[in-house]
Amino acid sequence: MAKWTKFPHDQKSITYAGDALKKNWDALHKGDNEPFPEDANLIDAWRAYHAGNFAEAVDAGGGLVVAAKATAIYTTYLEPKDSAKAGHYQAAMGIADKLRAKEVKNINAHYQFAYAAGRYSQSISIIKALKEGYGGKIKLALETVLKLDPKHAEANTAMGAYHAEIIDKVGVMVGKLTYGASKDAAVEHFEKALKLTPQSPIAHIEYANGLLMLFGDKEMDRATKLYEKAAKMKGRDAMEMLDIEMAKGELEDE
């Protein structure tokens, strides 16, 4: 593995040493409902992930959900080279795909495949990804997650983003007829994610992004409020800290 960019923020509050990880697990995993692991190496991998030591989490994760998630989150927020992003996302997809083939009811194996595939699609262009069949693959993976766990907040957010991205890129009619996408479905999934995880920065950010894709300037005020709420939150782990930084960036760009 090439040397990865170091997490750029103070990690003191997100190290979760000793029993702290287990005590905070439910709050940290409210979005994906990942069960607390029994294996000590896997616990260490998750501890590394939450602290922003993403390369360490991949190495310790042994091809499991945490390795896929660490790869995808690192790539989304910290990989500086656009030319490297597609390869990282493909690696994350590969980890998740192998795992879900072996464990068909592993909810977050399906979710991490969908997340990495969605980010991969954005990295190569949504239109190109749709031509390569990723739209159907992402939707099927997310439908599988939500069938197994309707209260999977991150999957609801991702499904909302799926509908919004499709409509934004191909229009309402083609989106509905070809991909089953709709504005109502997007909003419904975003709203459900917010209800399930009201303290999640990414649930607010993606909803704001989705509103702008679906409705443009008509929903600018609402989107701004969502960004503002996310920006004021306190990050409980590395991903949330990076999400909050992203929300602040969106507000600066307005």
Q: What string of pLDDT tens digits covers the 254 residues of the chain?
A: 568 999 999 999 999 999 999 999 999 999 999 999 999 999 999 999 999 999 999 999 888 999 999 999 999 999 999 999 999 999 999 999 999 999 999 999 999 999 999 999 999 998 999 999 999 999 999 999 999 999 999 999 999 999 999 999 999 999 999 999 999 999 999 999 999 999 999 999 999 999 999 999 999 999 999 999 999 999 999 999 999 999 999 998 76
Torsions phi, psi for 248 (to 5 deg): -60, -40
Q: What is the pLDDT of residue 253?
A: 76
The two tokens of residue 76 are 């989304």
Q: Where are the alpha helices (DSSP H) in the chain?
A: 20-28, 40-50, 54-61, 65-77, 82-102, 107-124, 126-131, 134-148, 153-170, 172-179, 183-196, 201-215, 220-231, 238-253
| pLDDT for res 62 | 81
Alpha-carbon torsion angle 119, 124, 129, 132, nearest 10: -130
Q: What are phi and psi of 122, to 5 degrees?
A: -65, -35
Of 185, 249, 180, nearest to 214 by C-alpha is: 185
118 secondary structure, DSSP code: H
pLDDT of residue 254: 64
